[in-house]
Structure 1
Amino acid sequence: MRMLLADQGQSWKEEVVTMETWMKGSLKASCLYGQLPKFQDGDLTLYQSNAILRHLGRSLGLYGKDQQEAALLDVVNDGVEDLRCKYALLIYTNYEAGKEEYVKALPGYLKPFETLLSQNEGGQAFIVGNQISFADYNLLDLLLIHQVLAPSCLDSFPLLSAYVARLSARPKLKAFLSSPEHVNRPINGNGKQ
């Protein structure tokens, strides 16, 4: 969400919640599903990261040029979330014992995204269509955190590797990715990466 907002030149106010504040319980109790993020857009309050991403996609014209592209973006985003769930399971429940096996399986998890890129302008554009989408930001985030987990994970995926470099070089996104706000933020709540 932050990358999308920064790259699109949007301003936002973020309230960082400390674990101490969260554990007091009143904020948690006020959240629809008892979890964050919580996103306020005027009088609209949203929960769930992907609902927020899709809302921003629709609001900012980042949901494809037509219904077909929108459907394909949903497919990509759901694939990103499937892999993000596997990653979260590793990070939060089985990091020490499972990291080696996860990294070994990672090429199989990444291959569909390489395939999707190859089917769209030979991998020289975005994941779907010829304009950036909410799903591109979600995929980029996922690929960047996997490069921290396994720095060589994209070595056998030239299109994904070029995609990460290309998107990360977008001026506003590059500035955000190198900002202290981004660099100093932990990747995961438990410090594992």
Structure 2
Amino acid sequence: MSNYQLIYFPLRGRGQATRYLFVDNGIDYKEENCAQDWVKTYKPKMPFGQSPLLKDGDFEVAQSNTIMRHLGRKHGLYPSDLQEAAKADMITDHVEDIRGPYVRMIYQNYENGKDDFVKTLPEKLGYIENLFKKWGTEYITTKISFADYILFDLLDTLQILTPTCIDALPTLKAFYDRMASRPNLKKYRETEEFKKMPVNGNGKQ
């Protein structure tokens, strides 16, 4: 019986990186759909009034990146070396610098804001490309960490919005292809459940 329960909406959104981490590492978990009666039943119980929420036994973990770090520390996916940990953390924070404007564009200004958002991507993704070249590793650190799932999820989401966004970034594209070809992730992403899952809650992507 799983000790992990992920409470989230039936969409990729902020919960998908956690699903990737679970699936890729063969970690059993259950998922609870909080879309039904969110306002009355679920939201008041959330520490910050938001989902996802991870239940680790009796312990509750909120905030998507905190969930990822918590799981990383528990399952050998958070670097023990301080410099390696800093690399994972800085990429995670930079992903958030991209994801935040993406979410605002999707939910608040899709029609008028999409083109302007897409124009920011070569520079922002280029920073990650340059770091991958500098560090010379297949993953963000010397072995896969929680941050790789966060970055992979972002790149996947962005390629749905603008399919060629990493074509001119060969090192980043190689990273994406490497993640997508990991056996457990590949099998999971080929399921109908995954293919039918919306990226965002308003149908825009």
Same fold by TM-score greater than 0.5: yes
Summarize deviations over 1:49-88 as a string: whole Å, max 9, x none: 0110000110111112412211221111111111110111
The two structures, once aligned, show a CA RMSD in angstroms of: 1.1
Q: Paired residue for 2:200, among 174, 181, 188?
A: 188
Letter in 2 for 1:83: I
Alpha-carbon distance in 1 for matches of 2:129, 2:140: 9
Matched pairs, number = 188
- Show the counterpart of 1:64: 79
Alpha-carbon distance in 1 for matches of 2:193, 2:76: 26
- Show the counterpart of 1:13: 30
- Show the counterpart of 2:3: none
The alignment-based identity, stated in percent, is 45
Residues 34 and 42 in structure 2, CA contact (< 8 A), matched pair in contact too: no
List gaps (5 residues or longer) in structure 1.
none
TM-score by length of 1: 0.93
Alpha-carbon distance in 1 for matches of 2:125, 2:58: 38
Cα offset for 1:180?
A: 2.2
List gaps (5 residues or longer) in structure 2.
1-17
Summarize deviations over 1:85-125 as a string: whole Å, max 9, x none: 0111111111100111111221011111101111122xx51
Alpha-carbon distance in 1 for matches of 2:59, 2:127: 35
Secondary structure of 1:14 counterpart: strand
Summarize deviations over 1:9-62 as a string: whole Å, max 9, x none: 1111001122x4113x22111111111111111121111101100001101111
Alpha-carbon distance in 2 for matches of 1:10, 1:86: 31
- Show the counterpart of 1:29: 44
Cα offset for 1:136?
A: 0.4
Alpha-carbon distance in 2 for matches of 1:81, 1:105: 14
Q: Determine which structure has the larger strand proportion and give its number.
A: 2
Alpha-carbon distance in 1 for matches of 2:138, 2:130: 13
Alpha-carbon distance in 2 for matches of 1:168, 1:65: 25
- Following TM superposition, the consecutive aligned residue runs of length 4 or more in structure 1 with deviations greater than 3 angstroms are none
Alpha-carbon distance in 1 for matches of 2:79, 2:95: 17
Secondary structure of 1:64 counterpart: coil
- Show the counterpart of 2:14: none
Cα offset for 1:3?
A: 0.3
Residues 120 and 126 in structure 1, CA contact (< 8 A), matched pair in contact too: no
- Show the counterpart of 2:156: 144
| 1:110 corresponds to 2:125 | yes
